[in-house]
Amino acid sequence: VADDQLTYQNQQIQRLRRLLGRRSARVDEGAFVIEGPGLIGEAVDGGWEFEAQYVAPGGEPIRGAGPVRYLADGVIERVATTEAPQPILAVAKVRSCELPAPAGFLVVADRLADPGNLGTILRSAEAAGAACVALTPGSVDPFNPKVIRASAGAVFHVPVVVASIEEVSAQGWRTIGTSSHLGEPYTELELSSPVAIVVGNEASGLADDAPVDGWIMIPHQGRSESLNVAMAATVICFDLARRGNNLGGQAANR
Amino acid sequence: VADDQLTYQNQQIQRLRRLLGRRSARVDEGAFVIEGPGLIGEAVDGGWEFEAQYVAPGGEPIRGAGPVRYLADGVIERVATTEAPQPILAVAKVRSCELPAPAGFLVVADRLADPGNLGTILRSAEAAGAACVALTPGSVDPFNPKVIRASAGAVFHVPVVVASIEEVSAQGWRTIGTSSHLGEPYTELELSSPVAIVVGNEASGLADDAPVDGWIMIPHQGRSESLNVAMAATVICFDLARRGNNLGGQAANR
């Protein structure tokens, strides 16, 4: 092991493991880990602030991803959350956002539990031009490594806030809940801006008495459980973009 | 081990492993394995023909899923493709479909490689009322256990055929390719029925010289790689349903 290479026992390496594995560590330290050059590059492009980058043998430092540390052989495999990790990790600082003033649309994810679903929702929301994704208390952490990966870096390009449905309403957004059985087909409702689309937990959905201003459903053929929450959010986000109800408007004509 | 319980060495068990693990075995035998009571129930509801069901200790036979065989303790864990398998497997017969006559819309997946993506596409196509999902030669097998799982059983409710883009055209369908850079925004095109939406491989997309009648793209904000093929198919399928261009039409008003 070269003098400048960190071994598995090093305190910084143990910190990387904590930040990857524990939400409480991310919250306490206001920092999180990004894995792989593609996602680190997305965060650099998004203007995120970095503490340091950790380069394994065969990896290359990334400009803008903080001071460079080198890892000894075999360390990254014991730290990373993927089976065949790419040879770089970086620690970035958690960025806190505020709920935006009402304009366009945003998505509220209520106690969403599955990292893959939140990742997909972030990706669709960003691509469709959402102003923000709000997570109610109790939702999966947006800096969970699986969320970051499933978002394909979208988490670095769309503002994410923690806020209750009531707080979103209080900010002046009209809140519309999505349901499998309540409300009108989304195609029948005006859904003009500013509108906050609220999607519910995977297992329980959004509570029928959730404090929303209205309800929509996505009509579908056949079986009752045919759409999951991430697919539903994708459909609604792109329909809002089609209508020009996103930030910047008229995305459909770009 | 009770007399009527199959042990791991049993030929039938080894066949289950082959059918789960190898596409060639599924093709040769015209059979495939469904894992778990939920998915088996979807296939029963869809009228699929079963050869046999294999019930592990703690499991219950399912009416309509074929003759019942019992598994010895610890066998299903060595056969199933999930970490914590549910206590039942069933062998069903591959069903061959024909390309439908042109009506509504269908989705053509061209050399799609990822089981999760095909599963999501099957799910969206079924929920939006597609007439069929066509897979070009070289696509992932729809009876791959990961595809079945990701489809949430939709693979048992929407016809799936193997056909080239040319064969779909020859059947009288207008073919529209999806692209990140070619064609008009999907919102600008009439897309009246019957229409076949063609989506491409994850890595290479649909070839620019693919033999399609027209092209559409999904406009999006920001980064270039913000949508994957399954999300794109979901957006297009539900937009066609919204327009009433699906089988049965007017799904949006059901």
Average pLDDT over residues B240-246: 91
Nearest Cα to A50, choosing from A62, A59, A60, A38?
A: A62
Instruction: Output A221-225 pairs: Cβ under 8 A, ≥24 positions apart.
Output: A221/B126, A221/B127, A221/B128, A221/B129, A221/B241, A221/B246, A221/B247, A221/B248, A221/B251, A221/B254, A222/B126, A222/B127, A222/B129, A222/B157, A223/B42, A223/B126, A223/B127, A223/B153, A223/B154, A223/B157, A224/A180, A225/B152
The H or E element containing residue B168 is helix B165-170
How large is the average pLDDT for residues B122-140? 96
User: How far is B238 from B127, CA to CA, in rounded Å?
Assistant: 8
| Mutate: best of A117, A188, A221, partner B, most B CBs <10 A | A221
- Is residue A169 helix, strand or coil? helix
- The interface predicted TM-score (ipTM) is 0.89
Among A123, A247, A254, the residue with its CB nearest the CB of B219 is: A254
Taking one residue from A and the other from B, the number of pairs with CB-CB distance under 8 angstroms is: 117
What does DSSP say about strands A88-93 and A50-55: parallel, antiparallel, or unpaired? antiparallel
**Chain-chain contact of B120 with A231 (C-beta, under 8 angstroms):** yes
* Residue A11 confidence (pLDDT): 95
* Contact criterion met (CB < 8 Å) for B221 and A154: no
Tell me what percent of the residues of chain B surpass a pLDDT of 70: 96
Instruction: For the beta carbon of residue B49, count every other beta carbon within 10 angstroms.
Output: 12
Report whether pLDDT(B185) > 60: yes
Joined together, the tokens standing for residue B97 give 């479909």
Nearest to A251 among B124, B219, B227 (CB): B219
Helices marked H in B3-68: 11-21, 23-29, 37-45
pLDDT at A160 over 60: yes
Q: How many residues does chain A have?
A: 254
Distance from CA of A97 to the nearest CA of B (A): 19
Q: Please write the tens of the pLDDT for every residue from A14-56.
A: 999 999 999 999 999 999 999 999 999 999 999 999 999 999 9
Q: Letter for the amino acid at B194?
A: P
> In the predicted model, what is the mean pLDDT of residues B185-196?
90
Whole-angstrom CA distances from A94 to A43, A167, B45 are: 11, 21, 48
pTM, two decimal places: 0.92
Confidence grade of residue A220 (pLDDT, cut at 50, 70, 90): confident
List the one residue out of B97, B120, B20, B100 whose CA is nearest residue A232. B120
Distance in angstroms (rounded) separating the CA atoms of residues A135 and A116: 15
Quick: pLDDT tens for B44-77. 999 999 999 999 999 999 999 999 999 999 999 9
Query: In this complex, do B157 and A124 lie within 8 Å of one another by their Cβ atoms?
Result: no
pLDDT tens-digit series, residues B139-176: 999 999 999 999 999 999 999 999 999 999 999 999 99
Query: Does the distance separating the beta carbons of A219 and B253 come in below 8 Å?
Result: yes
User: CA nearest A7: which of A88, A76, A91?
Assistant: A76
**CB contacts, 8 Å: A217 with chain B:** none
Say whether B222 and A126 touch across the interface (CB within 8 A). Answer: yes
Collect all residues of chain A within an 8 Å Cβ-Cβ radius of residue B184: none
Residues of B with CB under 8 A from a CB of A: 42, 120, 123-124, 126-129, 152-154, 157, 185, 187-188, 218-223, 225-228, 231, 234-235, 238-239, 241-242, 246-248, 251-254
Instruction: Read off the pLDDT of each residue in A204-221 and give the average, rounded to a whole number.
Output: 92
- Write down the pLDDT at residue A203: 87
Kindly determine whether residue B231 and residue A187, on different chains, have CB atoms separated by under 8 Å. Answer: no
Contacts of B241 in chain A (CB under 8 A): 219-221
CB A134 within 8 A of CB A107: yes
- pLDDT number for residue A248: 67
Which residues in chain B are contacts of A241 at CB distance < 8 A?
219-221
User: B221, A247: Cβ pair inside 8 Å?
Assistant: yes
| A contact test, residue of B221, B237, B245 with most A CBs within 10 A | B221
pLDDT for position B253:
34
Chain A: closest CA distance from residue B96 (Å): 21
**pLDDT given for residue B39 in this prediction:** 97
Q: Which of B185, B238, B248 has the CB atom closest to A253's CB atom?
A: B185
Nearest residue on chain B to A224, alpha-carbon basis: B127
